[in-house]
Structure 1
Amino acid sequence: MKTFESIDALEAAVGSEVALTDWMPITQDRINRFADATDDHQWIHVDAERAAQGPFGRTIAHGFLTLSLLPKWMGEAVQVRGVRMAINYGTDRVRFTAPVREGSRVRARFVLQSLQRLAPAVAHLCWRATVEIEGEDKPACVADFLVRYYA
């Protein structure tokens, strides 16, 4: 985990890679639970037999499942001391560039793109999050992940 002593300390990291998470397996159980939570039961996600005959050779994770892991990974990868609250402010420019096949492992790489002071104790950060798939050249997802920190 990368630890910053304050929001001020984050400013020096703008433009640099700050964190790389551990690998996480994407299991069929996780995919099924996401399908249940979102009511998205498309066969490419939940029907292993049919998906085996499909374009990806097995089931794949929902793109939004991959995207939804960003807050978890950010919480595990970056700590800012002196902050009383951090909120997920949303995303900009999201692309799902490669399928995450069931049984794959993924991780996130975070580059701090920008930090804007909104008030003395409030900062708006844009993190370029790249979700990598173990053994693959193309990332699963690239997104600008927006976070606000309140000191």
Structure 2
Amino acid sequence: MTRRMLSVADYLGLKGKPLGKSEWILVDQARIDQFAEVTGDHQFIHVNPDLAKATPFGTTIAHGYLTLSLLSRMAYDVMPGIEGTKMGVNYGLNAVRFLAPVKSGSRVRGDFVMKDVDERSPGVLRSTVEVTVEIEGEAKPALAAEWVTLAYV
């Protein structure tokens, strides 16, 4: 898929507008185990299917931070690029809430809305994006976040 590119003026015009939904991403046990290995977080609710069966979840669940880390991947599906960008960086999160567990084998996707965008300083655009991560077939989302990024143009 070719990423949609916008001029700075058009990008600034996205304030308050929905950006779209990403493709679905499978969160299987292999992905959860890889995340546990990288982070050193081997809590049984993530990596031990036998013990996790006895929890209210009934199975292993993804780490909340694994789900959060998928925002970058999801953003490539919906966030337009800005013509002339030299680089983009994460600036942080104003808020994040983990609302429902992502069970192993589930698929998730991000729903993105441009809450705010401004020129923080000459050549630096700050975007504040509201993201809701949906779980396929579930009424309650996995998480809701307000994500802030900087683009240097």
TM range (shorter): over 0.9
* Match runs of 1:75-86 below 5 Å: 75-80=76-81, 81-86=83-88
Structure 1 position 96, deviation (Å): 0.2
How high is the TM-score relative to the length of structure 2?
0.93
How high is the TM-score relative to the length of structure 1?
0.95
Structure 1 position 2, deviation (Å): 6.3
SS at match of 1:29: helix
SS at match of 2:15: coil
Name which of structure 1's ranges 39-48 and 9-18 shifts more when overlaid on structure 2.
Answer: 9-18
1:142 aligns with 2:151: no
Mapped partners of 1:127, 1:7: distance in 2: 17
Hey, what does 1:21 align to over in structure 2?
A: 22
| Runs of 4+ with >4 A deviation | none
Mapped partners of 1:136, 1:56: distance in 2: 14
Structure 1 position 4, deviation (Å): 3.8
Whichever residue aligns with residue 127 of structure 1, its letter is V
Instruction: Give per-residue Cα distances to partners, 1:33-84, cap 9 Å, x unaligned.
Output: 1011111111100000010111101000000000011112113322322212
Q: Are 2:23 and 2:77, in contact at CA under 8 Å, matched by a contact in 1?
A: no
Mapped partners of 1:127, 1:58: distance in 2: 32
Structure 2: segments with no counterpart, 5+ residues: none
SS at match of 1:10: helix
Q: Are 1:71 and 1:88, in contact at CA under 8 Å, matched by a contact in 2?
A: no
Whichever residue aligns with residue 101 of structure 1, its letter is K
Structure 1 position 9, deviation (Å): 1.0
1:36 aligns with 2:34: no
Q: Are 1:92 and 1:144, in contact at CA under 8 Å, matched by a contact in 2?
A: yes
Mapped partners of 2:7, 2:152: distance in 1: 10
Structure 1 position 13, deviation (Å): 1.3
Distance 1:73 1:132, change over 3 A: same
Mapped partners of 1:9, 1:82: distance in 2: 13
Structure 1: segments with no counterpart, 5+ residues: none
| Count of residues in correspondence between the two structures | 151
Hey, what does 2:104 align to over in structure 1?
A: 102
Mapped partners of 2:103, 2:13: distance in 1: 37
